[in-house]
Structure formats: C-alpha cells, structure tokens
Amino acid sequence: MLVDGKPYRTVWMGDDGVSVEIIDQRKLPFAFELVTLRSTEDAARAIREMYVRGAGCIGAVAAHGMFLAALECADAGDFDELFFRKGEELKATRPTAVNLAWAVDRQVKVVAGVSESDEKVALAKQTALEVADEDAAWCRAIGEHGLTLIKAIAEKKAPGEPVNILTHCNAGWLAFVDFGSATAPVYAAHDAGIPVHVWVDETRPRNQGARLTAWELGQHGVPHTVIPDNVGGHLMQHGKVDLVITGTDRTTFTGDVANKIGTYLKALAAHDNRVPFYVALPSSTFDWEIRDGVAGIPIEERSGEEVSCISGVPTGTGAENTAKDGCEIEVNLVAKGSPVANYSFDVTPARLVTGLITERGVCEASESSVLSLFPEKRLS
C-alpha cells in the first residue's frame, strides 16, 4: 500500500541479500521508520517487542527470520538440528497468532528436503519470498470476496450514503504483507467508488486502532472515525453500523475466532442488534487441530505496563500529527499500587460469527462450511 505516495510492504529482503527490512510499527503514526534485521535474534526481538505485529505480518517476518537463521546455520555441523532450534526460538516469541508457527514449520519442512547447505539457504530465501507473495495475494482475494458483501449493502442504501463498517484493532495491511484482511474489502470498495465509512475502535491497551488502522485508512483516503472501545454497542443500537469486519490471530476449523481483546464484546453487541459480524482471514490463520477455541487457543498475557501507561505526542505543541522521532512521551494512568491485568486476545465462539471471508470465498463459521472451502484439509 502507499505511504506518502510510495508503495510499501511490511517486510522485504534487504538490497545486500543477507538482511531483511521492516517498518517499525511501534512508532506509527508519529514516525515512519525502517529497521534492518540481520539475525534470527533480530527477527525474534522484532516480533516479541512488537516492532511488527498482526498475524500475517508476524508469519511473514518469521519466514524471513528463518532465512536469516539458514544463513547462520550454513557452516554448522548439523544444519537441520540448529535450524529447527532457531525456529523454536522464533515460535516462542508470541503464542496466539498461528501464522508464526505455520511459517516456521513450513520453512523447516522445505529446508529438510535438500541436503547441501547452500541449497538450504537458497530454498529458505525462496520460501520467505513465497510466504510474503502468497500473503499479499490472499489478502487481495479476501478484498474481492468481501467487496461483494459491501456492494450488496450499498445497493440497499440511498445513492451516496456510506456503508458503515466497524472494525477492531488493526487487521490492515500493516498486520499482513499488503492490503490487510479486514481492511481489504474496505479498500476494494473505496477503490470501486462505493462510499464507505469505518468506525475504528481505538483498541486499548496498545491502541492499534487509533494508531495504525486510522493511519493507514487515512493514507488511502478512506473516511473513518476513531471511537473509544466502549462505543460500538451504542452505535449498533442506533443503526449506525451496517457491518462489522474484524481480523483474527487464529481461527479454529470449527469457526471459533481468537482476535484482539474486546472482539468478543463487539460480537455480542452485533448479535443482539442483528448486525452482520464477519471475520476476514487467509488460510494461514486457520488452526486445523484445535476444535474448541475457548478451551484450546493459548491467550497471550502481556506486561501490565501496557495497561497502566500510555504514550503519545504532547498536545498543544503543534506536534500532534508530525513524524518527528523521539516526540512521544509516556504517562501513567492507574492509581498507585492497583494491580492490572493484560489479556491480549479473546475468543469469539462460532455461533456469534456471521461468516468468514477467506481467499477462497465466504463461508459460514462452521466445520462443514470451512471444510467445503478447504476440502484438502478433510484428509489431514
């Protein structure tokens, strides 16, 4: 997608052929900075400390991190053993998004298929590039399938009246390699001339909605409004939301959806108000093993400081929307001594999900419907 008119992806190979470039998403929207990764440890830190985040992006950075791992293993006695261990280190960085393990396991399997070190390195590089290209192609296809849903709603509205879409967290292009999952249908509709307006949940505690989704929608010229996380139910009661589209960090083949904390409450409000609640995901985000998402999906707990502190640029200085480095300040929000808890994700049961928008089309959030789109998974 475009940043100040220049096309970017969230991860790409460095010009020197032995490094990887990413966008430091921690600094957006106040600074746009690139970071170079030169080792597996750099890639692990980038994922753990959320320089990059979002299921697809984490998966693609992990795939590229495994290319850096392959370079480190090239002269090791037992390439495959060390490569596997480096993969486990990457996998341990964040537990909920399944794309991370999916990308690492794919690299381990592919690289084990050839015997010479230089072949393994070349294959790890090719696989990283394939993972990124696939992710972008899948998100583009999600956009096309989701566009059909938005178009159907737009056709029932008065000419020029926007389709109001609520989203939670950031499942935009920053959370993938390009286009995004939840945002892909929005970009497709906007580009097709269908008027859309997005209600952007700010998404405490890290504010990926206010900081990232708002920024990328703004860069693409999509009308949007940032709202506190508690507002969605009120908007739905008053007919101001036509459709909810969120992303997901892991969705079971039975249709249970793990996504950023607070998603479940939006799904409950949508159900109560008969607002369609769709979840957009590439197939790399399906968990083909866990049947019960509430019981089985590991929920990451992060530092309480993400809850008790907040950072941003000082108001009243004219710096609110500038991209100057170092202008953020951190402030405390919580009464001294009060404990805080920071569960990063929750699971929305399939019964609250209207449908899943995948690269192969839209299906119901049920085992039979998911498997009808991905019949090859019936056998595994």
Is 164 among the residues that bind ligand MRU (CB under 6 A)?
no
Nearest approach, Cβ of residue 58 and ligand MRU (Å): 6
Q: Residue 178 in contact with residue 134, Cβ under 8 Å?
A: no
Q: Which stretch binds ligand MRU (CB under 6 A): 241-249, 288-296, 313-321, 327-335?
A: 241-249
- To 10 degrees, what angle do helices 98-112 and 55-73 make? 30
For ligand MRU, the binding residue among 55, 101, 150, 154 (CB under 6 A) is 55
Nearest approach, Cβ of residue 53 and ligand MRU (Å): 3
The token pair at 309 is: 């502190």
The token pair at 321 is: 């929307």
For ligand MRU, the binding residue among 107, 181, 183, 354 (CB under 6 A) is 181
Is 53 among the residues that bind ligand MRU (CB under 6 A)?
yes
Q: Which stretch binds ligand MRU (CB under 6 A): 51-59, 66-74, 125-133, 219-227?
A: 51-59
CA-to-CA distance for 213 and 182, rounded, in angstroms?
10
Looking at the Cβ atoms of 73 and 245, the one nearer to ligand MRU is 245
Task: Pick the catalytic residue from 201, 229, 242, 249.
Answer: 249
Closest Cα to residue 8, out of 149, 161, 132?
A: 132
Looking at the Cβ atoms of 26 and 120, the one nearer to ligand MRU is 26
CA-to-CA distance for 375 and 379, rounded, in angstroms?
8
Looking at the Cβ atoms of 67 and 173, the one nearer to ligand MRU is 173
Nearest approach, Cβ of residue 178 and ligand MRU (Å): 13
DSSP single-letter state for residue 241: -
For ligand MRU, the binding residue among 146, 247, 282, 349 (CB under 6 A) is 247
The token pair at 329 is: 């300040």
Strand duo 277-280 + 355-358: pairing = parallel
Residue labelled with tokens 């409450």: 265
Is 175 among the residues that bind ligand MRU (CB under 6 A)?
yes
Is 171 among the residues that bind ligand MRU (CB under 6 A)?
yes
Contact string 256-295 vs ligand MRU (x = CB under 6 A): ---xx-----------------------------------
Q: Which stretch binds ligand MRU (CB under 6 A): 116-124, 244-252, 308-316, 358-366?
A: 244-252
Q: Residue 129 in contact with residue 66, Cβ under 8 Å?
A: no
Is 254 among the residues that bind ligand MRU (CB under 6 A)?
no
Tell me, yes or no, if 249 is annotated catalytic.
yes
> Please, what sign has the CA dihedral across residues 294, 295, 300, 304?
positive
Is 91 among the residues that bind ligand MRU (CB under 6 A)?
no
- To 10 degrees, what angle do helices 40-48 and 79-91 make? 20
**Interacting residues of 350 by C-beta distance below 8 A, sequence separation 6+:** 252, 254, 255, 256, 257, 293, 365, 366
Q: Residue 294 in contact with residue 349, Cβ under 8 Å?
A: yes
Residues lying near ligand MRU in the complex (CB under 6 A) are found at 53-56, 169-171, 175, 181, 208, 246-249, 259-260, 344
Q: Could you list the active site residues? A: 249
